[in-house]
Amino acid sequence: MPLEILLILVAGGIVGVTVLLHLSGKSELRALTPELAQSEWLRHAPDDTIIDVTVAHDGHSALIRTQTGNGLLWSFGADTVARHLLDFDWLEHPDGFEIQFHDFGTPKVIVHLDDFERRHWRHLLEPV
Amino acid sequence: MTDQITFPDAVQWAVPFFIAAILAEFLWIAVKGKGGRYETRDAVTSLIMGAGNIASGFALGFIAYAFFMWLWQITPLNLGTSIPVILLCFVLDDLRYYWVHRFGHRIRWVWASHVNHHSSQHYNLTTALRQTWTYTFTFMMVVRAPLILLGFHPAMVLFVGGLNLIYQFWIHTEAIGKMPRWFEAVMNTPSHHRAHHGRNARYLDCNYAGVFIIWDKMFGTFVPEQESDRVDYGLVHNIGTFNPLRVAFHEWVGIWQDATQPGLTLRQRLAYCFAPPGYSHDGSRDSSDQIKAKHLARHPEDRGTPGFEQSEAETPNTEAKQA
């Protein structure tokens, strides 16, 4: 196949699929409830025993306290990703906190928090 | 042997079909309200990985081709290009694919290339195109050497390999349940391959087939999809990025970080490169065998069911035990 045609097909295909999916509402983030956050955490970490779950008011992040330590679950497109809070840093961010994981495949996540819950989450994130 | 033989690049010619099939699957799901899920950034990442795979073929494909042509120079055998020879080459190349794919899940150096194909939590036709950019660096082209030394021309071997990949495109879908029983018995199907993409303990390290599922049945790696255990797609530890560069290279970076940490023996450094994924010198990670064992400790009722026939109850990490 001529290279120009291949390039047009590939670029056009990617742009076309992107526009189609976005316009049909497939870009929305997964909304978390406490029950959903709990079941999603156990999907990612089935060996854990959950103590309690704190879902951010925007419904896109949840702090999970387990018997082996804290973890963060967050919306990742239509799905979720979870990490134990072991090797991480957290920074103040205008919208909440920025959690950095020191992991090339999961570099960071912005946790969106309002002023009220920011104080509570700061307390939860402090090392015990 | 230097005779000039050319075959079309089947994968490139299939690109229009790929695009049309993705649109058809998306519309099918939209109309039926079932049969899979699409998410914008996930799908775009997969498509960019597919485009990058083609680009890496242009940039690095000459390395494998030069190796194959060198083999072709030294072999005294030439089976020609008749239809029966092409068919035989297709079947034998599918056996080659089975083993390369199995190595891809059991040797971390090869997994570093293949992991990106499993990095989506979705399973649709775009997932099929989420392909590696770094296959050349796995050196798995050596597994094709016997075919060429047996007298199959390199161009033909690459051609049937392309047909193999095109076959595998359509099985990346939830829109098709089960195919007719005879077809499921012989061929790789959406059902068999869904199980392969599962991160459930039951489905780890199963169904490596490309076209013919018979290889898994022959070599003891076949696990049928279970209605009672819905496939959960993705990685045991799902990544949190849609950035194609991070998707393509994250496991290579992980190997580098693990193998260069201070205080390890040479054996441990090599194990971080070549042992099965999940190896750790201190027992801080789980291999697929350990994940299955932990699952059985939580769900003993699954013992002996498909995917757990040979698994034992939870076993301690041998390295950690030694430490």
Q: Where are the domains of chain A?
A: 1-28, 34-125
pLDDT at B273 over 70: yes
Q: Would you call A17 an interface residue with chain B, using a CB distance cutoff of 8 Å?
A: yes
Kindly report the average pLDDT of chain B as a whole number: 94
* Cross-chain Cβ contact B232/A43 below 8 Å: yes
Residues of B in contact with A17 (CB under 8 A): 19, 22-23, 26, 43-44, 47, 126
Alpha-carbon Rg for chain A, nearest whole angstrom, is 18
**A14-37 average pLDDT score:** 97
Does A20 reach chain B within 8 Å, measured CB to CB? Answer: yes
Indicate whether this complex's ipTM tops 0.90. Answer: yes
Alpha-helix runs per DSSP H in B198-287: 214-219, 244-259, 266-274
Amino acid type, B21: A
The phi-psi region of residue B180 (left if phi > 0; otherwise alpha if psi is between -120 and 50; otherwise beta) is beta
* pLDDT, position A5: 93
Name the nearest CA neighbour of B195 among B221, B225, B230: B225
CA pair distance B236, B291, nearest whole angstrom: 9
In degrees and rounded to multiples of 5, residue A42 shows phi and psi of: -70, -25
- Mutant choice from A22, A84, A103 vs B, greatest count of B C-beta within 10 A: A103
Nearest beta carbon to residue A78 from set B39, B239, B250: B39
pLDDT at B320 over 60: no
B240 and A74 within 8 Å at the Cβ level: the answer is: yes
pLDDT tens for B66-91 read 999 999 999 999 999 999 999 999 99
Q: Is the pLDDT of residue B316 over 80?
A: no
Per domain, the residue ranges of chain B are 10-219, 280-323
Residue B8's nearest CA partner among B160, B136, B164, B129 is B160
pLDDT on residue A128: 57
Partner-chain residue, chosen from A13, A21, A47, that has the shortest CB–CB distance to B40: A21
CA distance B90 to A23: 42
Interface check A119 vs B, CB under 8 A = no
